[in-house]
Amino acid sequence: MADPFDSRLKRLLFLSRHRGTQENDLLLGRFAASRLAALTPEELDQYEALLEVGDVDLFNWIVGRTPVPPAHDTPVMRMIIDFNEKE
């Protein structure tokens, strides 16, 4: 039987690499490939919630064009921003 945690990681990685824009495919896909396996279940919940946000908003938050709203200003959002600033 497949491990549900492993299935979840694979699904989140796929969703990260197949967004509506190529820019987000790269920003989120690289982060997911590098960091998803190290996230806690709570952090994975935060990440999954971010994947439900529209591509334009998410891109603008990651690159710093607009501030991250408090509802989405989570530790995982900060990890994504930091990861992409260093890349």
CATH of the domain at 10: 1.10.150.250
Max CA distance (Å), the chain:
44
Distance CA 5, CA 13 (A): 12
Q: What is the average pLDDT across 1-28?
A: 88
Q: What is the average pLDDT across 8-20?
A: 95
Distance CA 45, CA 10 (A): 14
Count of domains observed in the chain: 1
Q: How many whole angstroms from its chain centre is CA 61?
A: 12
Domain enclosing residue 27, as ranges: 4-86
pTM of the entire structure? 0.91
Q: Which residues does 82 contact at the CB level (< 8 Å), separation at least 6? A: none
Do the Cβ atoms of 65 and 23 come closer than 8 Å? no
Tallying the residues shown for the chain, one arrives at: 87
**pLDDT tens readout for residues 21-76:** 999 999 999 999 999 999 999 999 999 999 999 999 999 999 999 999 999 999 99
